[in-house]
Amino acid sequence: MPATRSDLFARLAELGIETETAEHEPVFTVEEARKLRGEIPGGHCKNLFLKDKKGNLWLVVALEDARIDLKGLPAIIGSGRLSFGKPDLLKEALGIEPGSVTPFAIVNDTDNRVTVVLDKAMMEEPLLNYHPLGNDATTTIQADDLVAFIRSCGHEPHILPVSEGLSEPAQGL
């Protein structure tokens, strides 16, 4: 059974991680999120759930305006050719629906199937914003606390310059 929002918040509290959450209408794209978020401080992000040709799963997280070249990304992260993961695979691996992709969903990856890649430029922001397992809210967390949370879930996030010097925008939220 995937973690609920309450489970996520309880886990964050157990770790001593403080967050703030703003409720809003469900959003499915970065553009929709920009219209609804109001005055939420910090970097707003996009999340790409990807699969390589060998079946390895990747969660690449970057600032919403970051340009990510999916053809050049494998050389940076050490993967094979990448494509977007299908909705059923997303649900199976991270326990969430499309439009709700978030690094918080790593709490559901108890089999360590997903490799987490955090864009270096994003991690320079003191505050970051993600969906708390559903796309009807946005949770603000400190960058260092995000890393601590991911590590508490048994994953070692890779902080890499996935958006630097690249030219093709990737789609996703």
Amino acid at 157: P
Task: Please state, in angstroms and rounded to a whole number, the distance separating the CA atoms of residues 123 and 160.
Answer: 9
Domain 5-160 falls under CATH 3.40.50.1820: no
For the chain, the structural domain boundaries read 5-160
For 48, 87, 121, 167, the CA distances from 69, given in Å and listed in that order, are: 12, 22, 15, 6
DSSP conformation letters of 62-121: EETT----TTTHHHHHT-SSEEEPPHHHHHHHHS--TT---GGGGGG-TT--EEEEEETT
What's residue 33's pLDDT? 74
Instruction: Indicate the DSSP class of residue 21.
Output: E
pTM listed for this prediction? 0.90
φ/ψ of residue 6, rounded to 5: -60, -40
What's residue 26's pLDDT? 80
**Entry field: residues in the chain:** 173
pLDDT values of the chain reduced to their tens digit, one per residue, 173 residues: 899 999 999 999 999 999 999 988 887 777 777 766 667 889 999 999 999 999 999 999 999 999 999 999 999 999 999 999 999 999 999 999 998 999 999 999 999 999 999 999 999 999 999 999 999 999 999 999 999 999 999 999 999 999 964 434 443 43
